[in-house]
Amino acid sequence: MSAPMTFPNDFLWGGALAANQYEGAYDADGKGLSVQDVMPQGIVGPRTEAPTPDNLKLEGIDFYHRYKEDIALLAEMGFKVFRFSIAWSRIFPKGDETEPNEAGLAFYDRVLDELEKYGIEPLVTISHYETPLHLSREYNGWADRRMIGFFERYARTLFERYGRRVKYWLTFNEINSVLHEPFMSGGINTPKEELSEQDLYQAIHHELVASASATRIAHEVSPDLKVGCMILAIPFYPLTPDPRDVWAAKQAERDNYTFGDVHVRGAYPGYFLRKLRDKGIELDITEDDRRTLAEHTVDFVSFSYYMSSCETATQEREASGGNLMGGVVNPTLEVSQWGWAIDPRGLRTILNDYWDRWGKPLFIVENGLGARDELITGPDGTPTVADDYRIDYMNDHLVQVREAIADGVQVIGYTSWGCIDCVSASTAQMSKRYGFIYVDRNDDGTGTLERYRKQSFGWYRDVIASNGASLKA
Of 75-83, 314-322, 345-353, 421-429: span binding ligand BGP (CB under 6 A): 421-429
Least distance to ligand BGP, CB of residue 75, Å: 23
The binder of ligand BGP chosen from 23, 121, 174, 289 (CB under 6 A):
174
Least distance to ligand BGP, CB of residue 325, Å: 10
Of residues 175 and 221, the one with the C-beta less far from ligand BGP: 175
Residue 332 CA to residue 448 CA, distance in Å, equals 41
The binder of ligand BGP chosen from 140, 258, 304, 309 (CB under 6 A):
304
Q: Is 426 in the site for ligand BGP (CB under 6 A)?
A: yes
* 328, β-bridge pairs: 310, 319
- In the DSSP assignment, the letter for residue 340 is P
Counting DSSP H helices and E strands in the chain, the numbers are 14, 14
Residue 100 CA to residue 75 CA, distance in Å, equals 31
The binder of ligand BGP chosen from 36, 131, 171, 173 (CB under 6 A):
173
Residue 119 CA to residue 34 CA, distance in Å, equals 31
Task: Indicate which residue of 130, 207, 253, 366 is catalytic.
Answer: 366
Helix axes 146-162, 102-117, angle to 10 degrees: 40
Q: Is 211 in the site for ligand BGP (CB under 6 A)?
A: no
Q: Is 233 in the site for ligand BGP (CB under 6 A)?
A: no
- x/- letters, 374..413, toward ligand BGP (CB under 6 A): ----------------------------------------
Residue 16 CA to residue 80 CA, distance in Å, equals 12
Q: Is 432 in the site for ligand BGP (CB under 6 A)?
A: yes
The binder of ligand BGP chosen from 34, 211, 323, 384 (CB under 6 A):
323
Task: Indicate which residue of 174, 253, 311, 403 is catalytic.
Answer: 174
* 34, β-bridge pairs: 132
Of 180-188, 265-273, 405-413, 423-431: span binding ligand BGP (CB under 6 A): 423-431
Say whether 59 is catalytic. no
Of residues 127 and 202, the one with the C-beta less far from ligand BGP: 127
Residue 239 CA to residue 251 CA, distance in Å, equals 13
Type of residue found at 432: K
Q: Which helix (H) or strand (E) holds 461?
A: helix 455-465
Q: Is 237 in the site for ligand BGP (CB under 6 A)?
A: no
The binder of ligand BGP chosen from 12, 18, 231, 437 (CB under 6 A):
18
- In the DSSP assignment, the letter for residue 379 is T
Least distance to ligand BGP, CB of residue 359, Å: 25
The binder of ligand BGP chosen from 393, 417, 436, 457 (CB under 6 A):
417
Type of residue found at 199: D
Q: Is 84 in the site for ligand BGP (CB under 6 A)?
A: no
Q: Is 60 in the site for ligand BGP (CB under 6 A)?
A: no
Helix axes 63-76, 102-117, angle to 10 degrees: 20
Helix axes 388-406, 344-358, angle to 10 degrees: 30
Q: Is 370 in the site for ligand BGP (CB under 6 A)?
A: yes
**CB–CB of 82/71 below 8 Å?**
yes
Q: Is 373 in the site for ligand BGP (CB under 6 A)?
A: no
Least distance to ligand BGP, CB of residue 170, Å: 11
Say whether 23 is catalytic. no
Of residues 188 and 231, the one with the C-beta less far from ligand BGP: 231
Q: Is 23 in the site for ligand BGP (CB under 6 A)?
A: no
Least distance to ligand BGP, CB of residue 404, Å: 21
Q: In 10 A of CB 55, how many CB atoms?
A: 20
**CB–CB of 314/246 below 8 Å?**
no
The DSSP code sequence of 246-267 is: HHHHHHHHHHHHHHHHHHHHSS
The binder of ligand BGP chosen from 147, 301, 419, 425 (CB under 6 A):
425
Q: What's the first-to-final CA gap in the chain, in angstroms?
A: 20
C-alpha dihedral over 67, 72, 78, 83, to 10 degrees?
A: 10
Of residues 21 and 157, the one with the C-beta less far from ligand BGP: 21
Of residues 21 and 308, the one with the C-beta less far from ligand BGP: 21
Q: Is 424 in the site for ligand BGP (CB under 6 A)?
A: yes
3-state SS track over 39-105: CCCCCCCCCCCCCCCCCHHHCCCCHHHHHHHHHHHHHHCCCCEEEEECCHHHHCCCCCCCCCCHHHH
Give the binding site for ligand BGP (CB under 6 A). Answer: 18, 21, 173-174, 304, 323-324, 366, 370, 417, 424-426, 432
Q: Which residues are catalytic?
A: 174, 366
